[in-house]
Amino acid sequence: MSDATSEIRMRALELGVAELRVEAHEHRATTAAIFEVLKDLRTITGELKTTTDGLKVTTDGLKVTTEELKVTTEELRRGQEELRATTEELRKGQDELRATTEELRKGQDEFRQEMRAGYAELREEIVTVKRSVGNLELSMKRVEGDVAELKAGHLELRNLFADLVR
């Protein structure tokens, strides 16, 4: 029995070795597949790392851009406040200009009225002067007539006197 037992044991051992060989072969195939998966994972991990590094650079760039935008926004706000102040000053200046223009218009209207009144007075004075000139002309004609009469009387007196002296 010992040989038969040994043989059974041997066969069992050979069968175990064969199973171990099959399992070892399966393990090698599994290990090769695992290594392929690990290789793919390393590739994917490398790509993810590259992508992550790129995203980090992009994020840093976005942070810088965001800060620049904040600064620009603040400058725009200040510029907007300055523009509002300037606009308010311009409105005040415009209001003052309107008031000044209104005063000038009133002054022009008053000046026009004064000029019209002065013109009317001048026309009346011109009419009065023309009447006076007409009256003076009449008076001058009378005086000329009187002077002519005086000359004629003077000549007549001369002639009379000349007749008396002879």
Residue with tokens 């007749």: 163
Structure token digits, residue 62: 């976005």
Stated pTM of the model: 0.42
pLDDT of 1 higher than 60: no
Predicted local confidence at residue 28, as pLDDT:
93
For the chain, the straight-line distance linking the first and the last C-alpha, in angstroms and rounded, comes to 229
Length of the chain: 166
Full DSSP string of 119-132: HHHHHHHHHHHHHH
pLDDT tens, residue by residue, 123-163: 999 999 999 898 888 888 998 888 888 888 888 888 888 88
Full DSSP string of 49-115: HHHHHHHHHHHHHHHHHHHHHHHHHHHHHHHHHHHHHHHHHHHHHHHHHHHHHHHHHHHHHHHHHHH
C-alpha Rg value of the chain to the nearest Å: 67
Mean pLDDT across the chain: 91
